[in-house]
Amino acid sequence: MREKPWGRERPWPPRGDGRHILVVEGDPGVTDLLATALRMAGYRVRTAATGADGMRQVAERRFDLVLWDATLPDLARFTRGRRTTPADRPPLLFLATCESLDLLLPELDADGSDYVTKPLRIVEVLARAQTLLRRRGAEHRRGDTGYGDLRLDDAACQAWRGPRPLELSPAEYRLLRHLLANAGHVLSKEQISRHVWGEYRADHAIEKLVSRLRHKVDLEDPALIRTRRGFGYWLGV
């Protein structure tokens, strides 16, 4: 009997649809392997070789998922920061050795985290990544997020101030979503720029974007989008 082609027996994993993944891994060989496999699966990938660099990138950019080497010495500081920072935290997939599991297990929680053990199996990494991303998508679809009478629906990419719909551009929506996820915390112009556009842009571009968004959001009292001169912008009353 003729054997079926390999591709029909083992279909390719689901595509990543351009979602952003950060790989924080101390072994360059493992980093290259993961980055290549994830890019082939349709993800956009950035990498970091140290925990400090990984934490910096998480603070500056929006990621849909973070793969974190559980043997890095910054693990405890990173997970503490996730528990205390009210940001829109990405789910975590830890890359663990069997020896590191005792230290890792207390960090696994309901906030979107899982682990795979080394030596890594790429098919397992892709499957766990898809599961975490689906779970996060389901959480976002369960309801709107908001602050006071400001409401955002991430599934529809639509925002309202009270009953009034806000006609926002994609950049304005990303900015408002980022301010809402960090409500009460000042965001620098560089943080905002990298989150909205994925790169740093001149101050006047950020100021114009904030001004346009403020004109649409703050027609009613109280004003929600605030300026901390010399530091940046924040959302609050």
pLDDT at 3 over 70: no
Residue range of the domain that includes 55: 6-140
pLDDT of the residue at 2: 46
Ordered alpha helix ranges (H), 27-169: 28-40, 51-60, 75-84, 101-104, 122-141
82 pLDDT band, cuts 50/70/90, is low
For residues 133 and 166, state if they share a domain: no
Q: What is the CATH number of the domain that holds 222?
A: 1.10.10.10
Q: Are 149 and 131 in the same domain?
A: no
**95 shares its domain with 165:** no
Residue 142: is its pLDDT beyond 60? Answer: no
Specify the pTM.
0.55
Peptide bond into 28 cis (omega under 30): no
Q: What average pLDDT does the chain have? A: 81
Closest of 44, 137, 126, 43 to residue 90, by C-alpha = 137
In a domain, 31, yes or no: yes
Is 70 exceeded by the pLDDT of residue 117?
A: yes
Please tell me whether residue 213 adopts helix, strand or coil conformation: helix
Task: Express each pLDDT in 173-213 by its tens digit.
Answer: 999 988 988 888 899 998 888 888 887 777 888 999 999 99
Predicted local distance difference test score (pLDDT) of residue 27 = 95
